[in-house]
Amino acid sequence: MLIKNIKGLVGLHPKNKLVLSGSELGNLPVFENAWLLIEDGLIKDFGDMDSFPSSIAHLPSYSAEGRYVFPSWCDSHTHIVFAASREEEFAMKIQGKSYEEIAAAGGGILNSAEKLQKASEDELYESAAARLKQMIYSGTGAVEIKSGYGLTVESEIKMLRVIRRLKSEFSIPVKATFLAAHAFPTAFKNNHQGYIDLIINEMLPLIAAEKLADYIDVFCEKGFFSVEQTDQILKAGAAYGLKPKVHANQLSVSGAVEVAVKNNAVSVDHLEENNAATIETLKTADTIVTLLPSCSFYLGIPFADAKSFIKADLPVALATDYNPGSTPSGNMNFVVSLGCIKLKMFPEQAINAATLNGAAAMEISESYGSIAMGKKANLFITKPMPSIAYLPYSFGETLVDTVILNGEIYNG
């Protein structure tokens, strides 16, 4: 495939640039008036239209006049396998009930778990596949998906098998994260250690045997899993080769970042709550700070302090957190807009955070997340637009026009 007359090729980082930290986030290399050649699903070459090589002039081409070509969004934090939406909680939120109050009133994660336990693997696959398809059409070309609405041996495995099926049916990279430590199920209400033992002694060996997960996650938060419990679970996961990605500091500064970093977490996600000590801890590690502004937007909780993380020279990624309770949206375009509007990131920073750093948070940035020769041709072509900043500026509008996965136009 040959694309000509591209207004701007966006995100041309050198191939060996695998993550962007601090001030590097502000650098989004763009090649104007470009052509791009894709071969065997990979980016083969690109250059200036003013010196278009005659050797490829005979190839059929697509003209992208007035349009930009972006690397696909890399959404490194989602919970898209769920049985039912939770809009009954919507009215409660509008009345001013907090996330914790809704959970205490029978909503929340346990409500989703009850419904998921009753759903079949096929039903869960179909609904998650429909969500994923919609995300792909909005520009996402790599995704991480968590379990965590099963909360029993059988249902956690069921969720992870659904994720495995998504991995094999979709032509984008899918990373699976084991999040049984999402909430204590009702049956273990008075026996928390019993549930942790179940995770460690029953779920983990089965998951490892079937190779169902790439990462392990814990919702480390007051009322959910303590720092000590998180440490125990992450260590058990590590024994099976699962690296941590941790739900940290969503509702309070809980010590989650520290325990995650101590266990070599690939990423710490959320961090709506934060203090100077958290930043000092993060400075000692390579852990990626994944911010989820759609979650803040929907729950009405504080927006993360992206500027402080960037100022501290940390690698910041942006992701959706798509789930039925705190973020019923998988639209990365909106996340990038919120990154700019609410986290006060510049468009260049937000776009880098949603592409290369999102890929880094899934450990796939060698092949995804930027435009470089030899990288995967997972891209999108925008509608005609005046500038790159126009994409986050025109929030709520989807400017993704054509999606290309592995060098082919997506029409799944």
Residue nearest to ligand NIG (CB): 325
Residue closest to 296 by CA, chosen among 266, 330, 335: 335
Query: Which parts of 243-262 interact with ligand NIG (CB under 6 A)?
Result: 247, 250
- Tell which one of 255, 321, 369, 399 touches Fe ion (CB under 5 A): 321
Per rule CB under 6 A, is residue 369 in the interface with ligand NIG? no
- Give the nearest distance from C-beta 321 to ligand NIG in angstroms: 5
Residue closest to 11 by CA, chosen among 361, 348, 336: 348
Per rule CB under 6 A, is residue 108 in the interface with ligand NIG? yes
Q: How many helices (H) and strands (E) does the chain have?
A: 16, 16
- Give the nearest distance from C-beta 247 to Fe ion in angstroms: 6
Which range in 125-133, 194-202, 278-286, 323-331 contacts ligand NIG by CB under 6 A? 323-331
CA distance 172 to 179: 22
- Give the nearest distance from C-beta 179 to ligand NIG in angstroms: 8
Nearer to ligand NIG, 90 or 397 (CB): 90
Nearer to ligand NIG, 177 or 352 (CB): 177
Per rule CB under 5 A, is residue 272 in the interface with Fe ion? no
Per rule CB under 6 A, is residue 372 in the interface with ligand NIG? no
Which range in 48-56, 90-98, 135-143, 318-326 contacts Fe ion by CB under 5 A? 318-326
- Give the nearest distance from C-beta 295 to ligand NIG in angstroms: 5
At 142, give phi and psi (nearest 5°): -165, 145
> What 3-state DSSP class applies to 388?
coil
DSSP code string of 11-53: ----TT-----GGGGG---EEEEEEEEEETTEEEEEEEGGG--
Query: Which parts of 41-80 interact with ligand NIG (CB under 6 A)?
Result: none
Query: Which parts of 238-257 interact with Fe ion (CB under 5 A)?
Result: none
For the chain, the first-to-last Cα distance in angstroms comes to 18
Residue closest to 156 by CA, chosen among 192, 124, 189: 124
- Give the nearest distance from C-beta 176 to ligand NIG in angstroms: 16
Per rule CB under 5 A, is residue 273 in the interface with Fe ion? no
At 15, give phi and psi (nearest 5°): -60, -30
Per rule CB under 5 A, is residue 144 in the interface with Fe ion? no
Per rule CB under 6 A, is residue 295 in the interface with ligand NIG? yes
Nearer to ligand NIG, 273 or 321 (CB): 321
199 within 8 A of 117, measured Cβ to Cβ: no
Tokens representing residue 65 in the block: 């006049």
CA distance 405 to 402: 10
CA distance 64 to 55: 20
Which range in 169-177, 321-329, 334-342, 354-362 contacts Fe ion by CB under 5 A? 321-329
- Give the nearest distance from C-beta 182 to Fe ion in angstroms: 9
> What 3-state DSSP class applies to 138?
coil
Instruction: Write the secondary structure of 70-91 as one string of H (helix), E (strand) and C (coil).
Output: EECEEECCCCCCCCCCCCHHHH
Nearer to ligand NIG, 2 or 317 (CB): 317
- Give the nearest distance from C-beta 219 to Fe ion in angstroms: 8
- Give the nearest distance from C-beta 269 to ligand NIG in angstroms: 7
DSSP code string of 316-347: EEE----BTTTB----HHHHHHHHHHTT---H
| Contact residues for Fe ion, defined by CB under 5 A | 321
- What residues make contact with ligand NIG under the rule CB under 6 A? 108-109, 112, 219, 247, 250, 295, 321, 323-326
